[in-house]
């Protein structure tokens, strides 16, 4: 049985390994996604004890939330899962802008509830800051919705350190979701001191650097999705990253584990990270990533990985 962790100061408790679902119905991010495969991986996650399911209006758009809503309803397991989603994007004529104004947010929460076929959302994030709304005012709207029972915990994502401080003026922020992985460690300096001090759970996105940190890619691999434009996947940088990942393989082999498990276990060993949401394209990846819980890294191994990627 996995131990449970609390999201910020909220009453939401989840197992430390959640699931990222931008590849479930995220047709705008990954071409040729099969929706049945996506639904199957959600079912597998829930059956395997995963509790935190991370989605967003922007994945699809809308489709990821709809598919998760369908599966959770079919399985009749709403009380066993915590659904996290994100609002803020506004689509007009297929063009997206960010809007965190109070009227818009209130309306968007209701629409997300409908897509997810539920009457509460466990963790609601502002996906990105907008240009005009004071951050504490936007979070204040989420607090009002929390008091009304429509959401249970409040998150922000992609906020700069200054924006986070403004958003958390009244102490209402439970979770910050930001980019963090072994190749992108800036969060340790710019966010962790603040989030630790203010009891905000930091949930990293791209924990596997979109698959790069699983050790399965080779120098000649080509990508036709969002990875085609990611700096870590380009030329010399890609080659160097693959070399570092190979060194993790030595630790993995000695522990009879996979590279991804070592990487994910390393995050959970960091002070400031309680929950991770690795993404998956197939059910077997979901099952595999759960094996992270069987990996125990020694302080020496944690240091070796730290230095390798510092
Ligand atoms: P990720 O977790 O770094 O990588 C996930 C990808 O790695 C999978 O789609 C799969 O891709 C591969 N993979 C996963 N497990 C594997 C395994 N055991 N063996 C081999 N390959 C494996 O990237 P992500 O899914 O983009 O990010 C995680 C979650 O964070 C997302 O799903 C989303 O919920 C959230 N997110 C949030 C934001 C934000 O702005 N807040 C931004 C990005 C993501 P392949 O099979 O194609 O290699």
> 187: which 2 tokens?
């969060």
pLDDT tens figures, 286-300 = 999 999 999 999 999
- Cα 48 to Cα 18, 92, 161, distances in angstroms: 11, 39, 35
Backbone φ and ψ for 95, nearest 5 degrees, come out as -100, 135
Pocket test for ligand 1, best of 205, 257, 287 (most atoms within 8 A of CB): 205
Distance CA 125, CA 87 (A): 6
| CA-wise closest residue to 52 among 204, 233, 192, 249 | 204
**E strand intervals along the chain:** 5-6, 13-14, 19-20, 52-54, 82-87, 89-92, 95-98, 123-126, 154-157, 175-179, 201-205
Ligand 1 pocket test, candidate residues 280, 282, 288, 290, most atoms within 8 A of CB: 280
**Ligand 1 atom 45: residue of nearest CA:** 211
What's the token pair of residue 273? 């990270």
The pLDDT tens digits of the residues spanning 257-292 come to: 999 999 999 999 999 999 999 999 999 999 999 999
Q: Is 198 exposed, middle or buried (0-12, 13-18, 19+ CB in 10 A)?
A: middle
Task: Indicate which atom in ligand 1 lies nearest the CA of residue 204.
Answer: 30
What is the per-residue pLDDT for 1? 55
| Token couple for 242 | 């693959």
Q: What SS3 class is residue 241?
A: helix
**72 CA from centroid of ligand 1 (Å):** 21
The total number of residues written for the chain in this structure: 310
Residue nearest to atom 8 of ligand 1 (CA): 280
Q: Which residues line ligand 1 (CB under 6 A)?
A: 20-23, 54, 157-158, 177, 205-211, 214, 216, 260, 277-281, 285, 288-289
Cα of 170 from ligand 1 centre, angstroms: 32
Structure tokens, 108: 């968007």
Query: Which residues are catalytic, by number?
Result: 59
Quote the pLDDT of residue 212.
97
Domains and CATH numbers, the chain: 5-214+267-295 (3.20.20.100)
**Could you read off the pLDDT of 10-20 as tens digits, one per residue?**
999 999 999 99
- Per the CB < 8 A criterion, the answer to whether 115 and 70 are in contact is no
Q: Distances from the Cα of 256 to the Cαs of 141, 213, 296, 297, in angstroms?
A: 48, 17, 12, 12
Q: Is the dihedral of CA 109, 114, 116, 117 positive or negative?
A: positive
- Is the pLDDT at 196 greater than 60, yes or no? yes
Contacts 24+ apart (CB under 8 A), 248-255: 248/213, 248/215, 248/305, 248/308, 249/215, 251/297, 251/301, 251/304, 251/305, 252/215, 255/295
Cα 206 to ligand 1 centroid, rounded to whole Å: 6
Question: CA-to-CA distance for 24 and 65, rounded, in angstroms?
Answer: 9
pLDDT in tens, 54-113: 999 999 999 999 999 999 999 999 999 999 999 999 999 989 999 999 999 999 999 999
**Residue to mutate (ligand 1; options 183, 208, 228; most atoms within 8 A of CB):** 208
Measured CA distances, 118 to 113, 122, 275 (Å): 5, 10, 23
pLDDT band with cut points at 50, 70 and 90 for residue 226: confident
Q: Please give the distance, rounded to the nearest whole angstrom, from the Cα atom of residue 77 to the centre of ligand 1.
A: 24
pLDDT, tens digit, for every residue of 39-59? 999 999 999 999 999 999 999
CA–centroid distance, 8 to ligand 1, in Å, is 23
Instruction: For residues 112-135, give the mean pLDDT.
Output: 98
pLDDT band at 219 (very low <50, low <70, confident <90, very high): very high
Whole-model pTM: value is 0.97
Q: What is the atom index within ligand 1 of the atom nearest the CA of 205? A: 30
Establish how many alpha carbons lie within 13 A of residue 15's alpha carbon, considering only the half-sphere containing its beta carbon: 18
**Which atom belonging to ligand 1 lies closest to the Cα atom of 125?**
41
Nearest CA to ligand 1 atom 17: 285
Of 223, 232, 267, nearest to 248 (Cα)?
Answer: 267
Whether the bond into 61 is cis, omega within 30 of 0 = yes
């Amino acid at each position: 049985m996995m131990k449970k962790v609390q999201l910020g100061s909220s009453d939401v408790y989840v197992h430390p390994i959640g699931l990222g679902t931008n590849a479930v119905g995220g047709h705008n991010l990954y071409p040729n996604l099969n929706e049945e495969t996506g639904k199957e991986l959600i079912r597998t996650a829930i059956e395997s004890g995963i509790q935190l399911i991370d989605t967003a209006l922007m994945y699809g758009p809308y489709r990821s939330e709809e598919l998760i809503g369908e599966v959770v309803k079919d399985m009749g397991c709403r009380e066993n899962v915590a659904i996290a989603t994100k609002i803020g994007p506004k689509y007009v004529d297929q063009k997206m802008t960010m809007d965190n104004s109070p009227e818009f947010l209130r309306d968007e929460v209701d629409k997300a509830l409908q897509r997810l076929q539920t009457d509460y959302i466990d963790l609601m994030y502002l996906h990105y800051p907008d240009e005009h709304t004071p951050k504490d005012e936007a979070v204040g709207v989420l607090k009002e919705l929390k008091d009304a029972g429509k959401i249970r915990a409040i998150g922000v994502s992609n906020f700069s350190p200054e924006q986070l401080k403004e958003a958390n003026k009244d102490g209402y922020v439970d979770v910050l979701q930001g980019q963090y992985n072994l190749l992108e460690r800036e969060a340790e300096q710019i966010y962790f001191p603040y989030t630790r001090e203010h009891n905000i759970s930091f949930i990293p996105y791209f924990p596997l650097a979109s698959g790069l940190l699983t050790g399965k890619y080779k120098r000649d691999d080509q990508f036709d999705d969002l990875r085609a434009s990611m700096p870590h996947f380009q030329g010399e940088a890609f080659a160097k990253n693959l070399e570092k990942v190979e060194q993790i393989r030595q630790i993995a082999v000695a522990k009879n584990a996979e590279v991804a498990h070592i990487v994910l276990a390393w995050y959970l060993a960091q002070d400031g990270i309680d929950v991770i949401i690795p993404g998956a394209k197939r059910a077997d990846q979901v099952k595999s990533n759960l094996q992270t819980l069987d990996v125990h890294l020694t302080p020496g191994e944690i240091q070796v990985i730290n230095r390798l990627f510092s």
